Amino acid sequence: MFGTYRQAIQREPYELIEYIIRNERPFTELVTADYILVSPYTARGYGVLEDLKEQFEDPDDPFEFIPTQIPALTSRSGKVQESSDGHYPHAGLLSTFHYTRRYPTTDTNRNRLRARMYYQHFLGVDIMQLAPRVSDAAAIDAKYEIPTMQASECVVCHKTIDPVAGLFQDYDKDGWFISRRADWHEDMFGPGREGEQRSDAQRWRSLQWLGELTAKDPRFATAMVEHVYYILMGRKVLAAPQDIDDPYFIARRQAYVAQRDMIDAVAEKFVADNYNLKTAFKAMIHTRFYRADGVTVTDLSPERLVALDDIGLLRLLGPEQLERKILAVFGEPWGRLKPDYTKIDILYGGIDSKQVTERMADPSGAMGAIQTMMAHEVSGKNVAFDFTTEPGKRVLFPNIEPDVTPREPANEQQIRRAIVHLHHRILGLEQALDHPDVDRTYRLFKGIVDDAHAQGRFEERDIYFCRGRDDKRLSDPEYTVRAWRAVVAFLLLQPEFLYE
């Protein structure tokens, strides 16, 4: 029960994003929504289940979510949170306990991490990249009483980040709402945002005030489009080149400027359609940056190749994406890449949003081993299962039987048609019977069967692990079932399947 409740409450921020997108609401609600998404389980935790029970289709479903407002919080001492209407001052993700708890603070950090992540997530600004390098921090500390408010090297960053940090002052180090009793630190710039001070009358709704300003900031739309780029491309947008001594500086600069023009153009369409995030995805997909299918010209200069290096879509599928693809192709997931199963999803570039927050973009040796294991286990499970299914319901071999052997020349065309179907089903490729890739796969299939018969003797039943429907072990006197299994494993290891 506790595990289910934990899963349900962890999904709330994602459900908020999904609710906004599915209902085509302005994506500015990511920082301005005056509601939260709750399920029957989490509603019970917030103490609002009885009021909402009739709104759920299934009050026992822990993963059915609906929007609501939770009441103002009450401390253990009985003090009720200040509110104009008796509700908690929701401000989209900004005011969720998930967000403030994910980015904790300390007595010395004073919410500066939360402010930094606010700028990075919602405005696309990495404050740490803007901060100048201090050559002698000890000298600055000795010279000024409050370096963060007096030293120019410190003020350039702290004058931006400290006011936003002050807006999170009512959330403790673990992210819980506490309603501070004392005033905010006097050795920090007062709560506000980029020169605009938050009034005392707005203190009880500080994050709502911040969200409203954020939604009006043109950098918000740009940042959201950059997130869309990352989701579609699997890599972050280009950073502005800094090394003017780089022989390819001009080419890198051209690539950066061209990409920024594309991001800005998509952001304009995004804003024009009332911040509908679906519009941003559609506009991005229609750009040449996404639709490019490699460089076909062979005599391009090195400078031009550098400029075109980030064009097009090519990325390794993450563990969740690979599981979904296996499910789509075979009707059943592999299962081993699901989070919390055996943790090999982390080895395959996944994240746990705790210690591991960055996905690996390039394959490692461990990832290669996991790919091989996946190919053999998925093919072993599904080939036998498919052959023991009615022909009309098969997904892999609808028009061929195990007794069709390549040792009979008359069967070659039928086998090639089965290979073409597999190439289309698994790799998404439309190919002719005489395509070179089909030739290669046919030679693999025929070679395995010929080698088995050349040995003179082999086990006529397939191995126990590769059982079919109803745990049936297949009779394989021609060795074709095992050959087809090798073909499927071979296809599962192709870049067309593992990459996007």
* pLDDT score of 164: 96
Phi, psi at 447, each rounded to 5°: -65, -40
Choose one of 168, 199, 215: the last residue of a domain. Answer: 215
* Residue 347 predicted with pLDDT over 90: no
Query: Residue 328 is inside which H or E element, if any?
Result: helix 319-330
Per-residue pLDDT, averaged over 23-33, amounts to: 98
Rounded percentage of the chain residues whose pLDDT exceeds 70: 96
> pLDDT tens, 432-450?
999 999 999 999 999 999 9
Q: Identify whether residues 323 and 371 lie together within a single domain.
A: yes
Residues 409-419 have pLDDT tens digits of 999 999 999 99
Of the two residues 220 and 180, the one the predictor is more confident about is: 220
Task: Please write the tens of the pLDDT for every residue from 348-358.
Answer: 888 877 778 77
Mean pLDDT, range 283-312, rounded to an integer: 84
Q: How confident is the model at residue 344 (pLDDT cuts 50, 70, 90)?
A: confident
What does the alpha-carbon distance between residue 189 and residue 164 come to, in Å, rounded to a whole number?
9
Higher pLDDT, 112 or 234: 112
Domain-located, residue 249:
yes
> Average pLDDT for residues 229-251, to the nearest whole number?
92
Tell me the C-alpha distance between 22 and 422, whole Å. 34
**441 in a domain, yes or no?**
yes
Number of DSSP helices (H) and strands (E) in the chain, helices first: 24, 4
What's the rounded mean pLDDT across residues 366-394?
A: 92
pLDDT tens per residue, range 138-190: 777 778 888 888 888 888 889 999 999 999 999 999 888 887 766 788 899 99
Say if residue 327 is in the same domain as residue 356. Answer: yes
Least confidently predicted of 44-48, 202-206, 339-343: 339-343
- Transcribe 9-60 into DSSP letters: HHTHHHHHHHHHHHTT--TTHHHH-S-EEE-HHHHHHHT-HHHHGGG-S-TT
Position 35 scores a pLDDT of: 97
Number of domains present in the structure of the chain: 4
Residues 224 and 202 in one domain: no
Q: What is the mean pLDDT of residues 184-204?
A: 91
Asked whether residue 226 falls in the same domain as residue 289, the answer is yes
Looking at the structure, tell me whether residues 285 and 362 fall in a common domain: no
Per-residue pLDDT at 76 exceeds 80? no
Query: If pLDDT is split at 50, 70 and 90, which confidence band does 82 have?
Result: confident
pLDDT of residue 40: 95
At 287, the pLDDT band (50, 70, 90 cuts) reads: very high
Taking residues 4-15, report their average pLDDT: 92
Q: Which domain holds residue 13?
A: 1-23+34-68
User: What is the mean predicted confidence (pLDDT) over 247-264?
Assistant: 96
Quote the pTM value: 0.84
Domain boundary among 215, 245, 262: 215
Residue 5 domain-assigned?
A: yes
Residues 264 and 244 in one domain: yes
| CA proximity to 31, closest of 267, 217, 194, 174 | 217
Q: Which whole number is the average pLDDT over 313-332?
A: 90
485 and 418 assigned to the same domain? yes
Same-domain check for residues 471 and 325 = yes
Both 174 and 233 in one domain: the answer is: no
Residues 183 and 235 in one domain: no
Contact 396, 388 (CB under 8 A): no
- The answer to the question of residue 29 being in a domain is no
Question: Are 82 and 227 found together in one domain?
Answer: no
End-to-end Cα distance, the chain:
38
> pLDDT at position 296, please?
67
Q: What rounded mean pLDDT belongs to the chain?
A: 90
What angle do helix axes 365-387 and 480-492 make, rounded to 10 degrees?
140
pLDDT (mean) for 381-402: 91
The C-alpha atoms of residue 313 and residue 499 are separated, in whole angstroms, by: 9
264 part of a folded domain: yes
Indicate whether 201 belongs to any domain: yes
Q: Looking at residues 200-216, what average pLDDT do you find?
A: 95
Contact yes or no for 167/209 (Cβ under 8 A): yes
**Mean pLDDT calculated for residue range 109-115:** 95
More confident residue, 314 or 114: 114
Report the range of poorest mean pLDDT among 209-218, 240-249, 283-292, 344-353.
344-353
| The pLDDT value given to residue 341 | 52
Same domain, 408 and 465: yes
**Cα separation values, 52 from 44, 48, 61, 287, Å:** 10, 6, 13, 44
Separation between Cα atoms, residue 17 and residue 246, nearest integer Å: 41
Strand segments, DSSP code E, in 74-227 are 192-193, 196-197
What percentage of the chain has pLDDT greater than the value 90? 63
**Is residue 314 in some structural domain?**
no
pLDDT of residue 352: 76
The distance from CA 327 to its chain's CA centroid, rounded to whole angstroms, is: 18
The confidence band for 328, taking pLDDT boundaries of 50, 70 and 90, is very high
Residue 225 within a domain = yes
CB contact at 8 A, 251 and 304: yes
Q: Which domain-ending residue is among 276, 307, 338?
A: 307
